[in-house]
């Protein structure tokens, strides 16, 4: 079923959207990025616009129609009729239409060409998936900042600001997080106690934090990684790792069941958290010592999915070609 046409593959994420034009042999020919493409937070039209902009960049000036478009999006979009997105992408005239895939699956395939294994993703949100036969067999968490996302960037940021508030009124121990959080908010310490019975510092912190959308507290997650030796920060990282390990184990992850892929900034930029998740999984499932593959996004996996779904075998050579040609384009 190999054709002369190329495939458009897109990873529409909560922070940015990435598109690649990939040949049937796995050579990435064009790459483009645009803004947030999560239909849950941006709405379906906003997400579709982001997909369109990234795709145009990936195709450059090429007017040649693509064989098909594969778009990886957050779970809830799987229920959307692909016709809506096809309408948005009609200028690429995909002969074989458009396929919406799970963004979790795309992250998994960014780290593996096998059709079974596990993925754990901790960015703004947190979710784990077990993949079987190239499909999502089980998903845990990903329930959003209020109901779940335990150990996510939001969760870390919220724990950081809560720890600072507790330190400021004596409910919790002093912490090196305070300096970083106050500096990020541009606040000066003001230890005078006002009529409310609170210090000026804490009152300013309260006023500043409630000016954010809750999910924006993920912006404070890096402050936890800034001070890894601080006991309060260490405790937050340990609890995040325990929660993430629990999420991974809930989908049956961590056992000898194929590759394990880690994605999202909490795991890819927060090395202590990733290491602690592996440690925790080893403790809770004796004998298992998973070696995770770290991936930064799902665009390579979207390309893998595009090829696989059209009957093209993706082996170590094709997978390596996708990875290396994509890296060259992104440099």
Binding site for its own copies (CB under 8 A): 75-76, 78-79, 102, 104, 129, 136-144, 146-148, 150, 158, 161-162, 165-166, 169-172, 193-198, 202, 205-206, 209-210, 214, 217, 246-247, 250-251
Instruction: Indicate the residue among 23 and 150 with the shorter CB distance to its own copies.
Output: 150
Q: How far apart are CA 143 and CA 123, in angstroms?
A: 13
Q: How far apart are CA 330 and CA 155, in angstroms?
A: 30
Residue 34 belongs to what H/E stretch? strand 28-34
CB of 135 to its own copies, least distance (A): 9
User: What residues are paired with 188 via a beta bridge?
Assistant: none
Residues in the chain: 331
| 131 contacts: CB under 8 Å, gap ≥ 6 | 105, 108, 115, 116, 117, 118, 119, 137, 258
- Tokens, residue 38: 């999560």
CB of 149 to its own copies, least distance (A): 10
Instruction: Indicate the residue among 166 and 275 with the shorter CB distance to its own copies.
Output: 166
Instruction: Indicate the residue among 165 and 221 with the shorter CB distance to its own copies.
Output: 165
CB of 197 to its own copies, least distance (A): 3
Instruction: Indicate the residue among 21 and 261 with the shorter CB distance to its own copies.
Output: 261
CB of 285 to its own copies, least distance (A): 14
Instruction: Indicate the residue among 31 and 220 with the shorter CB distance to its own copies.
Output: 220
Q: Which segments of the chain does DSSP mark as H helices, in order? A: 39-42, 44-59, 82-88, 103-111, 144-147, 153-168, 177-184, 200-209, 221-226, 231-250, 265-268, 271-284, 299-309, 316-330
CB of 162 to its own copies, least distance (A): 6
Identify the CA nearest to 124 among candidates 153, 104, 147.
153
CB of 143 to its own copies, least distance (A): 5
Instruction: Indicate the residue among 198 and 234 with the shorter CB distance to its own copies.
Output: 198
Tell me the C-alpha to C-alpha distance, in Å, between residue 303 and each of 58, 121, 149: 12, 19, 27
């Amino acid at each position: 079923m190999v054709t002369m046409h190329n495939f458009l593959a897109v990873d529409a994420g909560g922070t940015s959207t990435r598109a690649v034009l990939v040949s049937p042999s796995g050579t990435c020919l064009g790459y483009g990025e645009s803004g947030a493409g999560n239909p849950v937070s941006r709405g379906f039209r906003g997400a579709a616009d982001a997909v369109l902009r990234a795709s145009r960049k990936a195709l450059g000036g090429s007017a040649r129609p693509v064989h098909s478009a594969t778009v990886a999006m957050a779970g809830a979009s799987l229920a959307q009729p692909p016709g809506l997105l096809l309408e948005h992408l009609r200028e690429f005239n995909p002969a074989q239409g458009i396929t919406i895939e799970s963004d979790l699956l795309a992250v998994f395939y960014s780290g593996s060409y096998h059709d079974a294994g596990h993925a754990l993703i901790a960015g703004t949100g947190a979710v784990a998936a077990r993949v079987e036969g190239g499909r999502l067999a089980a998903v845990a968490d990903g329930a959003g900042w209020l109901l779940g996302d335990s150990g996510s960037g939001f969760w870390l940021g919220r724990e950081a600001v809560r720890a600072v508030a507790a330190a400021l009124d004596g409910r919790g121990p002093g912490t090196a997080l305070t300096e970083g959080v106050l500096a990020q908010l541009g606040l000066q310490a003001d230890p005078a106690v006002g009529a409310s019975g609170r210090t000026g510092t804490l009152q300013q912190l309260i006023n500043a934090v409630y000016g954010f959308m809750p999910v924006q507290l993920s912006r404070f997650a890096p402050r936890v990684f800034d001070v890894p030796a601080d006991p309060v920060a260490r405790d937050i990282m340990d609890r995040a790792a325990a929660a993430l390990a629990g999420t991974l184990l809930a989908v049956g992850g961590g056992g000898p069941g194929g590759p394990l892929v880690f994605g999202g900034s909490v795991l890819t930029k927060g090395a202590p958290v990733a290491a602690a998740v592996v440690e925790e999984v080893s403790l809770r499932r004796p004998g298992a010592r998973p070696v995770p593959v770290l991936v930064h996004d799902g665009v390579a996996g979207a390309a893998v999915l595009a090829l696989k779904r059209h009957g093209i075998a993706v082996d170590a050579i094709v997978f390596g070609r996708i990875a290396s040609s994509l890296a060259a384009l992104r440099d």
